[in-house]
């Protein structure tokens, strides 16, 4: 594969026309961080502006249109993740939604002492489960994978038993990009009467998901990665219809109340998905997500996934042929059927290598400790030639020699660049943990 072959793939790409809805081809950076924060669609500027004008013109009267947005936008997210209407709402952050649903699941499985998770899962997932297990007196069991390629259905099937109340897993691992078999793991949990909660942050909007057909109980995910909803855009949660009236979430807020404006003395939750809301939804973020979804809906998941698989196949192949001889290793499953939509590369000097790529080569991926650079070529706006050029620049930097970089390993610090003032580094490092 040479550069001309990559350009040929772009010229045959049925999705190539969508790129201009996100970016000018202006010689800007090669953006391979769509798995951390997607690009904004141009249409969002107009729709968010219109929402601001609506607010300005109608003031509090706008709420008659805004109040149902969590459910309306939720139904649209549902279409991308195989969920029928009335089972998804867009609200709060992934962290908060994970807490709400994990906690609700435990109330639905009293007397079962064990919560099962992935030892290599995203920090917030592990921390939320740790806190919850401690608070309600259950035991958290975090499973290590039996191979270097992430947890398998067999690993999980062997660990789930009649003591398991809840299995909580990420569909695609944030660091390695390993893709779990959502349907067969869901079935394994159900065989033993456990509930399952999937974190779809790294799959929603890129990887095919069929929550209803797979019989999934609960799911959460963010809207700022492949769904392109913007920094801090609200997350989504899914609760299968037949479970909704039976599960109770722990945040008894007025947006979950059956008669919200009755202002009654006691909490009496809505019977449906609204009971999983808590407080006032972030309307500007919801409007942004709604617009971002319109663009994705016109393309559809099958086309996005097909291009994503081609992009990750090209990327993995280039990593193996051009970076592995220089001491890097592909840190994503080699079997394409076990990969999500991003590819990771390990190298002992991954941190300074990643910084050099951002600072000098305008290749934006991100670093994840201890030694991984993640590359997320979001299919709707990434070209094959971007993938080719990025690996060529990565090769150039490695071949020229990478030196240790004393800067703290934080995403935000990296993006601020070499001259970022030292004051505030601790704060930024802390914030960086939440990005991606």
Ligand X SMILES: Cc1ncc(COP(=O)(O)O)c(C=O)c1O
Residue 434 binds ligand X (CB under 6 A): yes
- What is the torsion angle, in degrees rounded to the nearest 10, for the CA atoms of residue 54, residue 59, residue 60 and residue 66? 10
Q: How far apart are CB 292 and ligand X at their closest, in Å?
A: 15
Q: How far apart are CB 128 and ligand X at their closest, in Å?
A: 9
Closer residue to ligand X, CB minimum distance, 40 or 234: 234
Residue 124 binds ligand X (CB under 6 A): yes
Residue 62 binds ligand X (CB under 6 A): no
Residues noted as catalytic: 122, 199, 224-225, 374
Among 199, 217, 366, 386, indicate the residue that binds ligand X (CB under 6 A): 199
CA angle 285, 377, 386 (to 5 degrees): 125
Q: How far apart are CB 221 and ligand X at their closest, in Å?
A: 8
Q: How far apart are CB 233 and ligand X at their closest, in Å?
A: 9
Q: How far apart are CB 95 and ligand X at their closest, in Å?
A: 3
Residue 436 binds ligand X (CB under 6 A): yes
Q: How far apart are CB 96 and ligand X at their closest, in Å?
A: 7
Cis peptide leading into 267, omega within 30 of 0?
no
- The region of 107-115, 196-204, 265-273, 335-343 touching ligand X under the rule CB under 6 A is 196-204
> Are 133 and 139 in contact, with CB atoms under 8 Å apart?
yes
Residue 125 binds ligand X (CB under 6 A): yes
Residue 235 binds ligand X (CB under 6 A): yes
Closer residue to ligand X, CB minimum distance, 127 or 252: 127
Q: Which single residue is written with the structure tokens 């001491």?
A: 327
- The region of 68-76, 122-130, 135-143, 187-195 touching ligand X under the rule CB under 6 A is 122-130
Q: How far apart are CB 251 and ligand X at their closest, in Å?
A: 15
Residue 95 binds ligand X (CB under 6 A): yes
Pick from 246, 240, 206: which is nearest to 223 by CA? 206
Q: What is the DSSP letter of 179?
A: B
Among 22, 174, 226, 381, indicate the residue that binds ligand X (CB under 6 A): 174
Site residues for ligand X, 205-234, by CB under 6 A, read: 222
Q: How far apart are CB 325 and ligand X at their closest, in Å?
A: 31
Size of interface with ligand X, in residues (CB under 6 A): 15
Residue 94 binds ligand X (CB under 6 A): yes
Closer residue to ligand X, CB minimum distance, 366 or 386: 366
Closer residue to ligand X, CB minimum distance, 352 or 376: 376
Closer residue to ligand X, CB minimum distance, 93 or 184: 93
- The region of 69-77, 118-126, 160-168, 176-184 touching ligand X under the rule CB under 6 A is 118-126
Residue 238 binds ligand X (CB under 6 A): no
- The region of 108-116, 179-187, 198-206, 403-411 touching ligand X under the rule CB under 6 A is 198-206
* 283-299 vs 69-80: helix crossing angle, rounded to 10: 30
Residue 170 binds ligand X (CB under 6 A): yes
Residue 131 binds ligand X (CB under 6 A): no
Q: Which residues bind ligand X (CB under 6 A)?
A: 93-95, 122, 124-125, 170, 174, 199, 201-202, 222, 235, 434, 436
């Amino acid at each position: 594969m040479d550069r001309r072959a990559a350009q040929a793939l772009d010229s045959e790409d049925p999705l190539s026309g969508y790129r201009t809805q996100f970016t000018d081809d202006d010689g800007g950076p090669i953006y391979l961080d769509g798995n951390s924060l997607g690009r904004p669609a141009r249409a969002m500027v107009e729709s968010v502006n219109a929402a601001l004008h609506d607010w300005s013109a109608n003031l509090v009267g706008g709420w008659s249109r805004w109040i149902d947005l969590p459910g309306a936008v939720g139904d649209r997210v549902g279409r991308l993740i195989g969920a029928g209407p009335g089972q998804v709402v867009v609200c709060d952050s992934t962290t908060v939604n994970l807490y709400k649903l994990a906690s609700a699941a435990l109330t639905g499985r009293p007397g079962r002492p064990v919560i099962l998770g992935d030892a290599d899962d995203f920090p917030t997932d592990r921390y939320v489960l740790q806190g919850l297990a401690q608070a309600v007196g259950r035991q958290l069991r975090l499973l290590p994978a039996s191979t270097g390629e992430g947890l398998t259905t067999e690993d999980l099937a062997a660990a789930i038993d009649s003591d398991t109340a809840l299995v909580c897993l990420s569909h695609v691992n944030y660091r390695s990009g390993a893709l779990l078999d959502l349907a067969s793991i869901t079935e394994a949990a159900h065989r033993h009467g456990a509930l399952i909660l999937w974190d779809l942050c790294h799959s929603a909007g890129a990887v095919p998901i069929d929550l209803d057909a797979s019989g999934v109980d609960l799911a959460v995910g963010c809207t700022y990665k492949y769904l392109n909803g913007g920094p801090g855009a609200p997350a989504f949660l899914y609760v299968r219809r037949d479970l909704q009236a039976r599960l109770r979430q722990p945040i008894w807020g007025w947006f979950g109340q059956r008669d919200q404006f009755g202002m009654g003395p006691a909490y009496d939750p809505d019977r449906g998905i609204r009971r999983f809301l808590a407080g006032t939804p972030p309307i500007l973020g919801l409007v942004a997500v709604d617009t971002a979804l319109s663009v994705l809906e016109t393309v559809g998941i099958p086309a996005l996934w097909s291009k994503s698989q081609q992009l990750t196949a090209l990327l993995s192949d280039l990593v193996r042929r051009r970076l592995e001889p220089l001491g890097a290793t592909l840190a994503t499953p080699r079997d394409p059927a076990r990969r999500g939509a991003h590819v990771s590369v390990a190298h002992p000097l991954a941190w300074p290598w990643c910084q050099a790529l951002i600072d000098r080569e305008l290749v934006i991926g991100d670093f994840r400790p201890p030694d991984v650079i993640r590359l997320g070529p979001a299919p709707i706006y990434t070209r094959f030639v971007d993938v080719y050029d990025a690996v060529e620049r990565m090769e150039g930097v490695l071949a020229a020699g990478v030196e240790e970089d004393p800067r703290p390993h934080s995403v935000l610090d990296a993006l601020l660049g070499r001259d970022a003032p030292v004051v505030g580094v601790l704060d930024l490092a802390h914030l960086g943990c939440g990005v991606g």
